[in-house]
Structure 1
Amino acid sequence: MTTILLVEDDISLASWVSEFLTEQNFTVIHLARGDLVLDKINNHPIDLVLLDVMLPGLNGIEVCRLIRQHRQVPIIMLTARADEYDEVIGLEAGADDYVIKPVRPRALLARITRQLSNQQQETNTKNIMTFGELTINQEAKRVTYLKKEIELSSSLFSFLTFLAEHAGTVVDRDSVFLALRKREYDGLDRRFDVMLSSLRKVFNDDPLKPKKFKTIWGKGYLFVADAWGADVEIEQIQPTNKQES
Structure 2
Amino acid sequence: MDNVLLVDDDVELAEMLADYLRRDGFDVQAVYDGATGVTDALSGRYGIVVMDVMMPGMSGIEALRRIRLQSQIPVLMLTGKGDDIDRILGLELGADDYVPKPSSPRELAARIRAILRRTQTSAEIPELLSVGLLTMYPEKRNATWNGQPLELTGTEFNLLEVMARNAGRVVNKNELSEAGLGRPLARFDRSIDVHISSIRQKLDVCPNGQSYIQTVRGRGYVFIKD
TM-score category of the 2 structures, normalised to the smaller one: 0.5 to 0.7
Per the TM alignment, residue 106 of structure 1 is displaced from its structure 2 partner at its CA by 1.5
1:110 paired residue number: 110
**Deviation digits for residues 109-145 of structure 1 (CA, Å, limit 9, x no counterpart):** 111111001102xx3499824389xxx9988xxxxxx
The answer as to whether partners of 1:52 and 1:77 remain within 8 angstroms in 2 is: yes
Q: Distance in 2 between matches of 1:81 and 1:38?
A: 24
Q: Distance in 2 between matches of 1:137 and 1:28?
A: 27
2:19 paired residue number: 19
CA RMSD of aligned residues (A): 3.0
2:42 partner SS: helix
1:79 partner SS: strand
Structure 1 gaps, min length 5 = 140-164, 170-245
2:63 paired residue number: 63
2:95 partner SS: coil
Asked which structure has the greater CA Rg, the reply is 1
The answer as to whether partners of 1:127 and 1:137 remain within 8 angstroms in 2 is: no
2:188 paired residue number: none
Q: Distance in 2 between matches of 1:108 and 1:70?
A: 25
The TM-score normalised by the length of structure 1 is 0.50
Q: Distance in 2 between matches of 1:85 and 1:167?
A: 31
**Deviation digits for residues 199-236 of structure 1 (CA, Å, limit 9, x no counterpart):** xxxxxxxxxxxxxxxxxxxxxxxxxxxxxxxxxxxxxx
Aligned length: 139
The within-5 A match list for 1:70-219 is 70-120=70-120, 123-124=121-122, 128-130=126-128
Distance of aligned partners of 1:130 and 1:66 in 2 relative to their CA distance in 1, 3 Å threshold = same
The answer as to whether partners of 1:7 and 1:50 remain within 8 angstroms in 2 is: yes
Q: Distance in 1 between matches of 2:139 and 2:110?
A: 30
**Deviation digits for residues 67-110 of structure 1 (CA, Å, limit 9, x no counterpart):** 11111111111112323222111101111111111121211111
Letter in 2 for 1:37: G
Worse-superposed segment, 63-72 or 77-86: 77-86
More contact order relative to length (CA 8 Å, sep ≥ 6): 2
Q: Distance in 2 between matches of 1:55 and 1:66?
A: 15
Letter in 2 for 1:74: P
